[in-house]
Chain A
Amino acid sequence: MIFEVSASLEAPVEIIGAKARGLVEMTRLGLPVPSAFVIPASACRSFLRDGSMPDGLDDAVARIAGAGTLVSVRSGAAVSMPGMMNTILNVSRARVREAVPAVFSSWNTPRAVTYRELHSIPHDLGTAVIVQAMVFGDRDQHSGTGVAFSRDPATGERALYGEVLFGRQGDAVVAGESETQPLHDLAVREPGMWEELGSALAALERHYRDACHVEFTFEAGRLWFLQVRPGGLVGRAAVRVAVDLVDEGLIDRRTAVARVSSRDLRLARALYISTTADLDVLARGIGASPGVAAGRIALTADHAVQMARSGPVVLVRPHTSPVDMHGLALAAGVVTSRGGPTSHAAVVARSMAKPAVVAATTLTVDPTSACVFAGSRVVPEGTPITIDGASGLIVLGSPAISEGAGDPHLARLKGWAASRSL
């Protein structure tokens, strides 16, 4: 059994997977989704058992609409296993019969098995597979690809936020290997598309009653949606979204309280640099792990270890790698001039619950002269700085710090949680 992705498809996530279910919901909302069909997870289980291929595959391929002859073949399990299984782009229709088994088989790569072992996901579920008409973000100057959030994932503030790559194909943003531009650049270069993206995310929020983010591609000035995920914000952002959604009438207080985890509450209590006073801002990067860290600048991991013996340090590096782990472990926080929210420094800092600012691109780190350059300023190693891993601010000296615990959204949510009359 193969299902066409259409507004009338009722099959649940357990059968067609979360990604296909999202495509169906977007189709129902009238959003442009490239023509697609989904092979259910049961077909993957059959294939992995005895090598049998789903019936009707060739017919389904023939029914794919669109001017092009190329399709993407993507995995899409019921349980999120991000990046664990194969996606094959630019498959000619004659080759779909080879690509589908390759994606089925990727359910059992050692890496995917390890992921399931670690996260207690059963090994016998299998993955659904989505076959979809390709759209090309590298077509012309009115083409590109990106990720858009309905609310700022750092603060929860209601504003379109994300990244865009002009003239590039869909996997480039997620792969994280290219320098993306802020999503707002779209408002300048493609104002119509910016509007359309905004109203689509508003519609998705009303539908899911939650903050959402989408992966999109635009080809020759035409916007297409490739994936939607509701939720996924953490910490102060999760608290703010839950409270704002109550005010917007999308959820009730009980739902808001239930949506915010104890981990979110812990993170939401993190400190932040108060922006009410004048700050001596050295640079601004991307906040990658919330909280405030103050300490002296250390320019190598080994320096951080040594300097940490006599007080807190902030490790400042072009980027970090596993050989810097001992420095990361002892630093109060970390700054990198390159990398993004999914870089090594960001991932490690979040896992250690340490503040991190990444992509502070105006900084040049030079261990040989023991200095950091920021434009015309030269700051020697050992200089005290303070960083805010939510806003991305890097400030010289010791600015005023605010307590997340005093955040009005957090206070309201806690009030609702304490009240019996939700």
Chain B
Amino acid sequence: MNTVLHSLRCMGYAELTRIADVTGSTPSEVESDLIDLAVDGFVVRTPPPFPTWGLTEAGKAEDARQVLDEVSKAGVRDDVLSAYKKFLILNPELLDLCSAALDEDLETARVLARFEDLDKRAEPICSSLAAALPRFGAYSVRLGAALDRARSGEREYLASATDSYHGVWFQLHEDLLATLGIPR
């Protein structure tokens, strides 16, 4: 599976440095991959002065094909589907929490405590996903990093920063949909 293509599939339009952060590669490595993908017609770069990258319809189809291949070779569709169903139970609560995180009248400690409570319940879901497909392991690391920054006083890492808890959660949601071939 093409990591850059799939990461971008879960991120929407993104700048080079953000894609590099998520894939754990250097910007020049990612750029080289993106250029190859663009030659194949799978990604496009928006015009300057502020280029960002996104998938074409052909790119989405290619990622779907690769993911289907990955999931069927590993024989883990049922495991991922079971985790996804548990994820869907937590998802509305997470959206409530994000509204709360943006509500300046609510104190940070109270909101953070509920994020931590939800994160404990999300952990087994992330673990079973990582057991099925190791690439999912990155999500608990990124979710944990967002909570750590929120704990250190950066409330925006709950719901408003780019790599906030909500931002990572949303990409996990997109990834689950893409991995299972479910339209949003």
Interface residues of A (CB under 8 A from B): 110-111, 114-115, 117-118, 299-303, 306-307, 321-326, 328-329, 347-348, 351-352, 367-368, 370
Residues of A within 8 A of B106 (CB): 118
- In the A-B complex, the 10 residue pairs with the closest CB atoms: A351-B102, A322-B170, A111-B93, A306-B50, A326-B162, A300-B13, A302-B52, A322-B166, A302-B15, A118-B100
- B14 touches which one: A114, A299, A302, A306 (CB < 8 A)? A302
- For the A-B complex with A306-B15, A347-B99 known, give 16 more contacts whose Cβ atoms are closer than 8 Å: A110-B117, A114-B117, A118-B100, A303-B46, A303-B50, A303-B52, A322-B159, A323-B11, A324-B12, A325-B160, A325-B164, A329-B160, A329-B161, A367-B46, A368-B46, A370-B47
From 108 to 132 in chain B, residues with beta carbon under 8 angstroms from any chain A beta carbon are: 110-111, 113-114, 117-118, 121
CB pair B171 A323 closer than 8 Å: yes
A118-B110, A352-B102 as given contacts; A325 in contact with B12, CB under 8 Å = no
Interface residues of B (CB under 8 A from A): 11-15, 18, 44, 46-47, 49-50, 52, 54, 90, 92-93, 96-100, 102-103, 106, 110-111, 113-114, 117-118, 121, 156, 159-162, 164, 166-167, 169-171
Residues of A within 8 A of B96 (CB): 111, 114-115, 118
CB pair A370 B117 closer than 8 Å: no
CB pair A348 B102 closer than 8 Å: yes
Residues of B within 8 A of A322 (CB): 98, 159, 164, 166-167, 169-170
Task: Report B37 CB to chain A, min CB distance, Å.
Answer: 15
CB pair A114 B97 closer than 8 Å: yes
Residues of B within 8 A of A326 (CB): 160-162
A300 to B50, CA, bound (A): 10
Residues of B within 8 A of A115 (CB): 96
A118 to B118, CA, bound (A): 13
Residues of B within 8 A of A321 (CB): 12, 170
CB pair B114 A118 closer than 8 Å: yes
CB pair B46 A300 closer than 8 Å: yes
Task: Report B157 CB to chain A, min CB distance, Å.
Answer: 11
CB pair B111 A118 closer than 8 Å: yes
A300 to B98, CA, bound (A): 21
- A302 touches which one: B13, B92, B103, B166 (CB < 8 A)? B13
Residues of B within 8 A of A301 (CB): 12-13
A367 to B121, CA, bound (A): 38
A114-B97, A302-B18, A325-B162 as given contacts; A307 in contact with B50, CB under 8 Å = yes
A322 to B169, CA, bound (A): 9
A322 to B111, CA, bound (A): 18
CB pair B167 A111 closer than 8 Å: no
Closest to A117 in B: B114
**28 A–B contact pairs at CB < 8 A?**
A110-B117, A111-B92, A111-B96, A114-B93, A118-B110, A118-B114, A300-B13, A300-B54, A302-B14, A302-B50, A306-B50, A321-B170, A322-B98, A322-B164, A322-B169, A323-B12, A325-B160, A325-B161, A325-B162, A325-B164, A326-B160, A328-B160, A329-B156, A329-B161, A351-B103, A367-B46, A368-B44, A370-B46
Residues of B within 8 A of A328 (CB): 160
CB pair A110 B93 closer than 8 Å: yes
Residues of A within 8 A of B15 (CB): 302, 306
Most chain-B CB neighbours within 10 Å: which of A114, A301, A306, A347?
A114
Closest to B170 in A: A322
A326 to B167, CA, bound (A): 9
A322 to B167, CA, bound (A): 5
Residues of B within 8 A of A329 (CB): 156, 160-161
A367 to B15, CA, bound (A): 13
Most chain-B CB neighbours within 10 Å: which of A303, A307, A325?
A325
CB pair A300 B52 closer than 8 Å: yes
Closest to B46 in A: A367
Task: Report A313 CB to chain B, min CB distance, Å.
Answer: 11
Most chain-A CB neighbours within 10 Å: which of B99, B159, B162, B171?
B162
A252 to B18, CA, bound (A): 57
Closest to B113 in A: A117
Task: Report B51 CB to chain A, min CB distance, Å.
Answer: 9
Residues of A within 8 A of B117 (CB): 110, 114
Residues of A within 8 A of B90 (CB): 110
A301 to B164, CA, bound (A): 15
CB pair B93 A323 closer than 8 Å: no
Residues of B within 8 A of A118 (CB): 96-97, 100, 106, 110-111, 114
Task: Report B156 CB to chain A, min CB distance, Å.
Answer: 8
Residues of B within 8 A of A368 (CB): 44, 46, 54
Task: Report B81 CB to chain A, min CB distance, Å.
Answer: 21
CB pair B167 A325 closer than 8 Å: yes
CB pair A367 B13 closer than 8 Å: yes
Closest to B104 in A: A351
Task: Report A303 CB to chain B, min CB distance, Å.
Answer: 5
A122 to B68, CA, bound (A): 47
A301 to B14, CA, bound (A): 8
A329 to B101, CA, bound (A): 14
Task: Report A263 CB to chain B, min CB distance, Å.
Answer: 9
Residues of A within 8 A of B14 (CB): 302
CB pair B50 A114 closer than 8 Å: no
Most chain-A CB neighbours within 10 Å: which of B11, B90, B160?
B160
Residues of A within 8 A of B110 (CB): 117-118
Task: Report B144 CB to chain A, min CB distance, Å.
Answer: 17
Residues of A within 8 A of B167 (CB): 322-323, 325
A306 to B100, CA, bound (A): 28
Residues of A within 8 A of B18 (CB): 302
